Each structure stands twice: as structure tokens, then as C-alpha cells.
Structure 1
């Protein structure tokens, strides 16, 4: 079949793939509860109590870190498992026989799992703010920033799923990647508690910019640093999703 023959519009392709991937809630909701809410809240409880000595500023890092952790588990890790499953089961080869572009498969999958992560993200944020006593100051630009923080993380997850030897290898690789990215830089802990070498390494991690941006738009105050974070996250998103698109097997065409 020619890829251009009777091909639906890009919008129709995206909506169809989005709806297909949203059906993953049937198996993903259990993981959403456990890893999207329970794990971040447990981390918040474990780190939040000792961090009270740092005052509201230190507690804000713990709250933001739990939100970033929820984003990672629900976007990076779930997307990794989904791409590994689609690769192993031949779903990607099936999609390649349809009049759709592989970039739509990537964008539709990433977007669907971000939507599925929103309930867990909201619960984690509200419970964390209540427990830690951190006042929220949600800026309207959060509607742009939060999805932008999720996109490069989901892209990393897609790469893990595509490059892993098999579905059984995705879990350990994704978990190690998540833990490494959480503790590289001031994601959970304030920068003055971290060694200089770790702060230097943090400049290559998307979680560093995601944590900074989320803290500004959810806790405040918004500063000029936000637009640096947004620019870096947008660039990382473009690069990672482009690499994912190149790595998606598209043999049937």
C-alpha cells in the first residue's frame, strides 16, 4: 500500500493513535496507583521529615522531586514498557502497514501516557503540599511547562523500550535510569546539600531543568530562569523525539 494513498489527515492520524493508546488505562491504572502515587508519596514521607530542618525552601525541593518522580514513573517508565511491548508483539510492524507516519505513533503514544499520568500527578502534588505544608502558587504557564517537562522524559522511555533486548529487560533499565536522573542534581534536595561534581553533571539531565521549571510554576516565584529551562526542555524534546522516530522499526513499508 502506498503511504500517501487515501491517507487520513495528520490530525485524524493523531486522534486515532491517541485513542488507541489511551485504551492502555485498562492495564496501566494499577501501575499508576502504585508508581505514580504510592512511590512518590512514600519518598516524600521518607525525605520530607529530615528535610524540615531546611525550612520551606528545602521542603519545596522534596515536593517538586516527588512530582518529577511521578512524571518519570508514569511517562518515562510506562512509555518504555509500551514501546517494548509493541516491538515484541509486532504492533509497530502492523502500524507500518497503515497509512500513518511513524512520527504520529511516537507523538500519540507520548501524549496518551501524559494524559494518563495527570490524575497521579495531581494527587501527588496535593498530598505532598498538604503533608509538607508547602503553599502552592500555581502560575497559568504551568499548562505549558508541565507537558514540556514530561515530553523529554517520555522520549527517554521510548528509547529504553526500543533499544532494550527484550520486554523483560525494560523494568530494570528504566528503574536504574529513573533513580540516576532523580539524584543527579537538585531535583529532590537543595543545591547547597549536593557536591560540586554532582551539580556539574546535572546540567546534562532533563530532570534538572524539569524540577527547576516545575518549582517556579507550581510553588513560585517565576524568574527569568524559567525561560532557560523551557528552552532547554524544548530542545531536548526535539532531539530525543527525533532520535526515537529514527529508531522506530518501520519495516512493513
Structure 2
């Protein structure tokens, strides 16, 4: 009496889920990373308070002083109103540009190597961390907007515009955090990342329309402003928060493309950190 040999499943079919299944994990991973960030803030609010000091100084000192000097022409818009969205974008930039340090910490702790052997796509991990940075930035944005309102900045009351502000802040922070994680994949160390981050932060800030209109810039700086994603984030925030003329669809499109490019670049270099 003979027995039929058990059927052998195709190679990789038992243990490795199909690609479309792993990509279904993307929303869950993003939500999980965001929850982790909120829990960190809930357990230790010190970073939130200390990070709010610098934007507060920009609004209280720089904003109030230049409002009285009227040295920067902003049309019928008070300079403090004009400045507030720019400082909001600046604060999210400062949070995101050093976010790659967390990737290096994860590598040093052995967490990154464990994450990379899971079936979750690398792009899903990067996307989760990018939008987790956006969640952290939103908590910072609340503090800045409350201070702006106290100082007399006229902010919109339209809930749809506030929803747009959330989307723009998340996209802008996602791009700059991915830029930081890309730099981490190239620099490979915290010290190098800190040095590069400090070297590019202020040029990104001053090379945008956060402090002054593009029309006041010299020609070479206008070119930099037009390719600087921060300029599009500021333009969208000004339009949504204080109602200045803007190019919302263009701003949104540029930020979406920039965030997608940042996720792609950071995902491609993620494995380099654990080699």
C-alpha cells in the first residue's frame, strides 16, 4: 500500500505574504507611529515646552519690533499677522530637520534591524515615522497659534481651513523629517547629522518667504525660494490662516510631491544604516 507524498507548497508562499498584503499595513503603521509620538509627549512634556520658547521669541521680539518699525512692507496685512504662519512653518522645520537622530538611536539600540526583518515595507516604516513627526509638530503648532491669538493675530474661524492647516503642516513636516532621515542614511552618525542639520536649517528658513515677501528678495534668493518647499508651506498657511492671496493647489501639489520624494529617498537609504 503506497502513500502519496505530501504536496510541497511553492517557495515563499507559506511565510512571505504577497506585496499587496504588506502594503495594507501602511495605514496601521502610520497610526501606530503617531500614537507612539503622542504617548512620548504625554509622558514627558519638557521638550514641548522648550521647543516653544524659540518661536515665542520670534513672535514677541522680532514680530513686535518690526511691526512698530514697519520696515518690511506687507500691504494691508499687519506684519505680526504676516509673520505668524512663517514662524509656525519654521517651528515645524526645526522639529523635523533633526528627526533622523531617532533613526540612528533605533539603529544603535538594535530596534531598526528588528523592524527591517518584518514584512512591513521600508516605505511604510518611513511614512509612519514621517507622519509621527507631523503629529509632534501639530502639538507645537497649537502653542504657537494660541500665542498668536493672544498677541492679536487675526486667525480664521473656518473649520475647513483649520483642517487644511493640519494637512499642510503634516505634509511639510513629513518632507523635512524624510530629508533628515535621508541625511541620516548618508551621514551614519548623530554628530554628522547634527552638523549638517544646523548647516541647512537657517538657509532653508531665510531662503523662504517666512519673514518677508519674495518681491523684496534679490534675484538669486528668489530662485532659492521657488525651489524651497518651506516657501510653499508658508504660502499655504498664510492663505488658510489669515486669508492672504495664495496658490493653495500648487502649494499642496508641491508638498505632496516633495513628501513622496522624501519617503522614497529615505526608504532607499534605510538599509544602509544597519549594514
Q: TM-score, with normalisation over the residues of structure 2?
A: 0.79
Q: Which residue of 1 aligns with 2:4?
A: none
Aligned to 1:48: 63
How far has the Cα of 1:67 moved from its partner?
Answer: 0.2
Q: Give how far 1:62 is off.
A: 1.8
Deviation, structure 1 residue 197: 1.8
Q: In terms of Rg, which structure is larger?
A: 2
Q: Give the length in aligned residue pairs.
A: 249
Deviations 1:60-115 (A, max 9, x none): 332122101111122332x2221222233332211112232211211111122221
Per the normalisation by structure 1, the TM-score is 0.85
Matched residue, 1:116: 136
1:181 corresponds, among 194, 201, 204, to: 204
Asked whether the equivalents of residues 97 and 179 of structure 2 are also in contact (C-alpha less than 8 Å), the reply is yes
Aligned partner of 1:164 among 178, 181, 187: 187
Contact 2:59 2:80 in 1 (8 A): no
**What value does the CA root-mean-square deviation take over the aligned residues?**
2.9
CA distance in 2, matches of 1:45, 1:144: 27
2-structure distance, mates of 1:239, 1:24: 28
> 1 or 2, which has the higher helix percentage?
1
121-130 or 21-30, larger mean C-alpha shift: 21-30
Question: 2:94 matched to 1:64?
Answer: no
1:136 paired residue number: 155
Could you report, residue by residue, the CA deviation over 1:188-246 in whole angstroms, capped at 9, with x for unpaired residues? 223343322211211111111011011111111454x1111111111111111111111
For 1:91, the equivalent position in structure 2 comes to 111
CA distance in 2, matches of 1:90, 1:236: 30
Contiguous gaps of at least 5 residues in structure 2: 1-11
